[in-house]
Structure 1
Amino acid sequence: MVDTRRHRFIIGIGSQRAGSTLLHSLLEASSEVFMHPVKELHYFDTLYGYRSRQALQEFSTRQLMREVDRIVSSKDLSFVKNNRYRCYLRTNRLLARLPIEKVNYLDLFRPNLKNHQLIGEVTPEYMLFDEESIIKMKEVVGEDAGILLICRNPVKRFLSAVKLMNSYNNLQMDDAAANEWLEGMLDSDNNWTKAQEKYNDYASAIELYSKNFSNFLAISYDELIEKPKISSQKISEKINININEKKFIQGTEKIINNLANDYSISEKIILKLHKIYEPNCIFLQDYFDHELLR
């Protein structure tokens, strides 16, 4: 059995459409942290009922079947021997087959535990936790875990979420359809807009996580992109990990996840969103002491 005291967790908790994929990539490329090959594990949010257990099992099954097809059709199987790839396969098998209560969180990082004292993942949904869930998570990951939250302009994050929703559901909306759909969503009581409100509630996430974790850092997406050197220094000092500054800066120049909104959204809707999220914007501008431009 692996001694949990030998390992320290570094966890990105969000937010969705604010650079979580970039954060995962930067930590993997520039630090000694073993970032899980399944970028969003969805372990704790599923365990605590924030995410459907069926959704996690179905997603993990699809990932696993895709890799089975890859292995069957491949002429060169050398990649299977890679411990990172074996971790990817093993994790999807566990999450696809076992009830989440039967899965040990640390066990998801095998077979890479022996050679890595620092291990981590990024799952945006963790930022939605109430204090009870955060305390439960702390019991697993330990008080010394490093917690990172990337914050983005709420209006632009919201519009980027529209793009993600359209792509994920293959709706193929043009500008007119996107505007009509979005206006209808803003004028109705629905789960999607409620979810976006939660992802824009940075104030609550910052308050609860900073209260429960001493190694907590909220960083703005703007500063991450525009001042990567400063960002790398803040992460290194606050989260207590070594960062290769050169690789970190290079990583910010290769944004993996396109966060831009491709739709031409009407001025009416933009103004409405600014009114809705004005308190969130003011909070972030005060907290980071600069305008959120992206």
Structure 2
Amino acid sequence: MKARGPHFLGIGAQKAGTTWLHNMLSQNNAIWLPPIKELHYFDEIEADPNPKKPSPHARRAAKKAILRHIRHAGKELHVPYIHYLSKLGTMPKSNQWYYEAFNWPLSEGKLCGELTPAYCSLSLDSIRTMRAELGLIKLIFLMRDPVSRAKSQMRMWIERQKRSTMDLSDWDHFLEYPTLLARSNYQHTIQSYEAVFGPENILYLAYGEISSDPYALLARVEKFLEVPAAEYPTAKERVHASHMQVEFPDIVEQKLSEILAPQYEFLRKKFPDRILSNM
């Protein structure tokens, strides 16, 4: 019998509302998501097909999930659940590890999925590997204005590194960072995934609708995934709001616009105004 795996994936984009979408889908009783958000399976095996050690990301995420369970459970600790999380944090990543993430009783009979924004920058070969491994599943791609998305990613780096000042050489270093460009390359993401999964199996959503009309966005997700409508009491709550004010020099804004100009041209040709005006 084939191991249980995901019926759908959220493939990005980073800094485009995937955490919000994960939180919303977790409130729909017809859907089950692993307790570790962002499994990072296909991107990590792309970098290292045969890892010998557990993933640092999985180890940290499993530890956080265990501590969260202990904090909320009080005296009602669920030992099998802690064991399940421990396995995810201590096993090297493999297809066995990936299917183990969905091997939890509460997932039985539900639509399973996971959201990992890093999947948006997978190579075409890795996307083909994903299709061979999972079959013809459904995909969700949240898109944000390319320059705004890139600036949000840079702001996150600055905040994590606790930088108080940035000179132009620091900005240039960020602009040359591979993941900044790869995760802003919507053309590669869209063309590669459509070539492998077909456009009819991909739902494109605009980041701006999370704030302007979150319930309409969620209704489109429910229709696409063919699940019953649910109530989402926290749909209008903001997540990952940055507390750091970062001033981007004009030259950095100009360079970003120049670098990402081909993305805007591609998006204008690909999508209707409703999506473009809400990105």
AA at the equivalent of 2:153: A
1:199: which partner in 2?
183
Query: CA 1:54–1:252 in structure 2 vs 1: closer, same or farther (change >3 Å)?
Result: farther
1:236: which partner in 2?
222
Counterpart pick for 1:101 among 55, 79, 94? 94
- Structure 2 distance, partners of 1:220, 1:68, is 33
How many pairs align? Answer: 275
* Alignment RMSD (CA, Å): 3.3
Report if aligned partners of 2:6, 2:112 keep a CA contact under 8 Å in 1: yes
Report if aligned partners of 1:131, 1:208 keep a CA contact under 8 Å in 2: yes
CA apart distance, 1:180: 5.3
More helix per residue: 1
1:282 and 2:275 aligned = no
Counterpart pick for 2:149 among 140, 157, 166? 157
Query: CA 1:71–1:204 in structure 2 vs 1: closer, same or farther (change >3 Å)?
Result: closer
1:127: which partner in 2?
120
CA apart distance, 1:119: 0.9
Counterpart pick for 1:116 among 109, 122, 133? 109
CA apart distance, 1:124: 0.9
1:81: which partner in 2?
78
1:146: which partner in 2?
138
Report if aligned partners of 1:147, 1:239 keep a CA contact under 8 Å in 2: no
Counterpart pick for 1:90 among 76, 84, 88? 84
Q: How does 1:15-94 map to 2 (within 5 A)?
A: 15-30=13-28, 32-49=30-47, 57-65=55-63, 76-78=74-76, 80-81=77-78, 86=81, 90-91=84-85, 93-94=86-87
- Structure 2 distance, partners of 1:260, 1:285, is 32
1:225 and 2:211 aligned = yes
- Structure 2 distance, partners of 1:275, 1:293, is 21
Greater Cα offset, 225-234 or 38-47 = 225-234
Report if aligned partners of 1:48, 1:133 keep a CA contact under 8 Å in 2: yes
Report if aligned partners of 1:44, 1:126 keep a CA contact under 8 Å in 2: yes
- Structure 2 distance, partners of 1:182, 1:33, is 41
Percent of pairs with identical residues: 21
Query: CA 1:258–1:236 in structure 2 vs 1: closer, same or farther (change >3 Å)?
Result: same
- Structure 2 distance, partners of 1:38, 1:22, is 15
Report if aligned partners of 1:31, 1:241 keep a CA contact under 8 Å in 2: no
CA apart distance, 1:226: 1.8
1:211 and 2:204 aligned = no
Query: CA 1:128–1:71 in structure 2 vs 1: closer, same or farther (change >3 Å)?
Result: closer
Counterpart pick for 1:172 among 162, 171, 177? 162
Report if aligned partners of 2:14, 2:118 keep a CA contact under 8 Å in 1: yes
1:270: which partner in 2?
253
- Structure 1 distance, partners of 2:64, 2:15, is 25
Report if aligned partners of 2:9, 2:115 keep a CA contact under 8 Å in 1: yes
Report if aligned partners of 1:20, 1:150 keep a CA contact under 8 Å in 2: yes
Secondary structure in 1 matching 2:8: strand
Query: CA 1:235–1:195 in structure 2 vs 1: closer, same or farther (change >3 Å)?
Result: same
TM-score by length of 1: 0.78
Q: Which runs of 5+ in 2 are unaligned?
A: none
Secondary structure in 1 matching 2:152: helix
TM-score by length of 2: 0.82
Report if aligned partners of 1:7, 1:116 keep a CA contact under 8 Å in 2: no
Greater Cα offset, 233-242 or 216-225 = 233-242
- Structure 2 distance, partners of 1:70, 1:49, is 30
AA at the equivalent of 1:266: P
Report if aligned partners of 1:95, 1:103 keep a CA contact under 8 Å in 2: no
Q: Which runs of 5+ in 1 are unaligned?
A: none
Secondary structure in 1 matching 2:27: helix
